């Protein structure tokens, strides 16, 4: 089973937590994530794309291309206003059935209690077309760093994180909601020059590390993991 923490506060209090200050500290856009998503969208020819929990819209803008119809929503009024997105709860998406080819949820499901996470997955299957995909990023409860850092692990230090999963746990949950062809490793045509935190910033080494951490079994022990499934 997934690991759950006691939920902090009511839904109204949760909304207030996601303030401008919250996003000022966490509003990042990793280039390797943008590169991977951009390639997935191109390879599968996705046109109608939704990001749930879009924050201030940096990823929406990063993926914007001619011919793509990109939508975003967020629980936070602060973030949605900055992103030009809709204010919406992940468990009650204000979209039509079969409206999207691709749904992206970066750092969302760990903010939802287990029953809320299941409501979210149910909503995603409703708004996704058959053959469309859900892509998520979430803290990895199987990460060795969780054991090494203990209470200082990044997943624990954010008070809005209430639910954690291992890659296997989340894959099984997605399968229960009708997702197939679950992917946890991603083969890209080009791996980005992303600085993985080494003291030396060498482009060729950065690209090698991107391949290692995205396409190989190392992807399953990263601090956060990526997961994608097709709506069957």
Contact 160, 14 (CB under 8 A): yes
Q: Average pLDDT for residues 136-150, to the nearest whole number?
A: 96
Rg (CA), the chain: 17
Instruction: Tell me the Ramachandran region of residue 22: left when phi exceeds 0, alpha when psi lies from -120 to 50, beta otherwise.
Output: alpha
Residue among 169, 146, 166 at smallest CA distance from 156: 146
pLDDT tops 70 at residue 6: no
3-231 carries CATH number 3.40.50.150: yes
What is the model's pLDDT at position 199? 82
Flag whether pLDDT at 98 surpasses 70: yes
Domain residue ranges in the chain: 3-231
Report the percent of the chain where pLDDT is more than 90.
Answer: 78
Q: Quick check: 8 pLDDT over 50?
A: no
CA dist 31 and 90 (Å) reads 25
Beta-carbon neighbour count of residue 153 at 10 Å? 17
pLDDT over 60 (residue 20): no
155-204 pLDDT, tens digit each: 999 999 999 999 999 999 999 999 999 999 999 999 999 988 888 889 99
Model confidence at 24, in pLDDT bands (50, 70, 90)? low
Residue 127, classified by CB atoms within 10 Å of its CB into exposed (0-12), middle (13-18) or buried (19+), is: buried
Instruction: Say what the pTM is.
Output: 0.89
């Amino acid at each position: 089973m997934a690991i759950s923490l006691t939920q902090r506060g009511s839904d109204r209090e949760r909304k207030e937590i996601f303030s401008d200050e919250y996003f000022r500290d966490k509003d990042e856009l990793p280039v390797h994530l943008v590169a991977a998503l951009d390639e997935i969208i191109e390879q599968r020819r996705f046109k109608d794309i939704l990001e749930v929990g879009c924050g201030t819209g940096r990823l929406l803008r990063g993926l914007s291309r001619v011919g793509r119809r990109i939508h975003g929503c967020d629980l936070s009024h602060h973030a949605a206003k900055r992103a030009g997105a809709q204010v919406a709860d992940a468990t009650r998406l204000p979209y039509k059935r079969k409206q999207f080819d691709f749904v992206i949820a970066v750092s969302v499901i760990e903010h939802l209690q287990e029953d809320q996470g299941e409501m979210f997955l149910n909503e995603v299957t409703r708004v996704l077309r058959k053959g469309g995909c859900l892509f998520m990023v979430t803290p990895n409860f199987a990460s060795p760093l969780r054991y090494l850092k203990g209470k200082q692990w990044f997943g624990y230090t954010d008070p809005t994180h209430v639910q954690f999963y291992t890659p296997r746990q989340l894959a099984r949950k997605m399968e229960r909601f009708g997702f197939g062809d679950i992917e946890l490793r991603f083969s890209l045509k080009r791996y980005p020059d992303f600085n993985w935190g080494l003291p030396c910033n060498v482009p060729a080494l950065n690209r090698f590390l991107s391949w290692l951490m995205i396409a190989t079994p190392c992807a399953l022990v990263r601090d956060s993991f990526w997961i994608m499934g097709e709506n069957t």
